[in-house]
A and B are shown apart, each in its own frame.
Chain A
Amino acid sequence: DIVMTQSPLSLPVTPGEPASISCRSSQSLLHRSGHNFLYWYLQKPGQSPQLLIYLGSNRASGVPDRFSGSGSGTDFTLKISRVEAEDVGIYYCMQGLQVPWTFGQGTKVEIK
């Protein structure tokens, strides 16, 4: 199985400041098509997960442009340019390249 490792696991943030979460995979997620099969989800408190980023760097419909995804191969980053209070929750990365699809442990983002 592909192991997804996120860091940090806890991230206190200040509104208006940037934030960054790292996700590393145990195998390359770069497909011969050129796509990186890496996804970012946010699970707000008491809610279902919601898709933020697909194929490593594409924002999902309705996602604010303060969220961006980057990286390729085994190293990926989710960045929030200016954190807002509504961004608190647990962020998960997920790989969709190889069965079984696997998630990272989650990064809990909370306001300082």
Chain B
Amino acid sequence: QLQLQESGPGLVKTLDTLSLICSVSGDSIGSSGHYWGWIRQPPDRGLEWIANIKYGGNTFYNPSLRSRLTVSVDASKRQVSLKLSSVTATDTAIYYCARLPWDTDYRGFDFWGRGTLVTVSS
């Protein structure tokens, strides 16, 4: 059964780099047609798409975060990572990773992790 587990520091200092890992089990991270996405949700707010990445393939970033964002896939570790630099309080949010079957049937984010809360504070 597919499991996605986000992990990382719950507290990041202002202007530091936020680093998160999404550990994938129960599915091949390099499965044909599968992308992996990051989405965030500020406390008591709506959802914001961050990026989609495919192992060995394309990466799509939200332009509003593009200059500060790096997303990568390590198939050997079965991990998807996110790094967001120069964070401020507006980056405080629950960060979710999700599976994205896309190349053939465009199914959207069909499985989500439980999310991890990151608070940015000085």
Which of chain B's residues have a CB closer than 8 A to the CB of A50?
Answer: 112
Which of chain B's residues have a CB closer than 8 A to the CB of A48?
Answer: 96, 112-115
Size bracket of the B interface: 20 to 34
A39 to B109: give the CA distance in the assembly, Å. 9
Scoring B residues 44 to 62 as 1 if CB is less than 8 Å from chain A, else 0, what string do you get?
A: 0011110010000000111
Which chain B residues in 30-72 approach chain A with CB under 8 Å? 39, 46-49, 52, 60-64
Scoring A residues 23 to 47 as 1 if CB is less than 8 Å from chain B, else 0, what string do you get?
A: 0000000000001010101000000
A60 and B47 form a contact (CB under 8 A): no
Check A55 for interface membership: any CB of B closer than 8 A: yes
A48 to B112: give the CA distance in the assembly, Å. 7
A103 and B110 form a contact (CB under 8 A): no
Nearest CB on B from A33, distance (A): 9
14 sample A-B contacts, Cβ–Cβ < 8 Å, listed by A number: A48-B115, A49-B109, A51-B108, A51-B109, A54-B108, A55-B107, A61-B110, A94-B47, A99-B60, A101-B52, A103-B48, A103-B49, A104-B46, A106-B46
The interface of chain A, by Cβ under 8 A from chain B, is: 35, 37, 39, 41, 48-51, 54-55, 60-61, 92, 94, 96, 99-106
A61 to B110: give the CA distance in the assembly, Å. 9
B62 and A37 form a contact (CB under 8 A): no
